Amino acid sequence: MARTQPFSFRTSEEAIAAYKAAAERAGLSTSEWARLVLDAAAGSSDFPEQLARVVKFRQVRDGTW
């Protein structure tokens, strides 16, 4: 994959600390962690195995409205 385009956004110091901690738990750099999360959120890739190991999924509703 060619990573030729820079991308940045503003966030809080607390969020940066949370991103770094999550990346460390997943065994990834913060940049790689962010790319994987954004790609999965955008629907351009599946949720990667590295992140599934550290993210706890919970059901928030029973599927009916």
Structural domain boundaries of the chain? 13-52
Residue pLDDT tens, the chain, 65 long:
688 898 899 999 999 999 999 899 888 899 998 988 888 888 887 766 666 666 666 666 776 66
**Residue 18, token pair as written in the block:** 């949370």
How high is the pLDDT of residue 21?
Answer: 92
How high is the pLDDT of residue 11?
Answer: 94
Q: Which residues, other chains included, contact 26 with Cβ-Cβ below 8 Å and sequence gap of 6+?
A: 33, 50, 51, 53, 54
How high is the pLDDT of residue 53?
Answer: 64
